[in-house]
Amino acid sequence: MAALVADGLNLGLTRMAEACSIASLGQLAWTSDWHIRDETYALALQRLVDQQQREPLAAIFGGGSASSSDGQFFRAGSFGRDAARLNAHYGDEPGSKFYTHLSDRYAPFYTKVIAATAREALHVLDGLLCHRSDVAVRRHHTDGGGESDHVFALCTLLGFQFGVFVIPVQKVTMSKSLISLDRVPDFDPKSLIRFIFPFLDQTAAFRAGRGCSTPSKVLRCGPMSKLKIPRMLM
């Protein structure tokens, strides 16, 4: 627990060893090296979330099938190499964002550290497809930062309902559902399918543990990044 607190508070193992009497620096270092990693954090979060979802009290807040996601900005301690992480929206101090998916039972089932300047919409599908918990999301909500044509289209194809919280009307852009794409002039549905299937194949491989790209990487660097989806009001 002391090693976890040191990591969570960014205190460091040396200062934690000086502040507590239950473990030496060597013991804390051994525990940190062998047991505190991203994988173990993810497994611990999975077990906590799964247990919380089964509690009768949690069911009062929601059915467990809806979720939302948003980014929270945390400032860095200094400038220097962090200067490239400046985002004018958060002021003139560098830092990073923690993009978190939260179920309607208030369980944070997926968290990812992203750059302060990163487009949040790229990471929406990471949380929906790559989390390890038993949360079965059918409807997902974001604010305007998580909205994009690709997210709308892919959520439809993958069986998710996707909604955006209220934002200024002049900024709202929505893509037609797959059913109505055939009515869009000069649009070839085969081009959509040709780009979608590599995305689905790589995403399925990632979920199966075969080490392939996450959805955000496919959207940013793969063929999906070049796909132009008709932008029309529904």
Say whether pLDDT at 126 is over 80.
yes
| pLDDT for position 132 | 84
* Extended strands (E) in the chain: 66-75, 95-103, 108-115, 139-142, 161-164
| pLDDT for position 57 | 92
Report d(CA 38, CA 155) in Å as an integer. 27
| pLDDT for position 87 | 65
Q: Which of 29, 76, 37 is nearest to 16 (CA)?
A: 29
Verdict on whether the full-model pTM lies above 0.85? no
Q: Which of 172, 114, 104 is nearest to 144 (CA)?
A: 172
Report d(CA 17, CA 129) in Å as an integer. 39
Say whether pLDDT at 18 is over 70.
yes
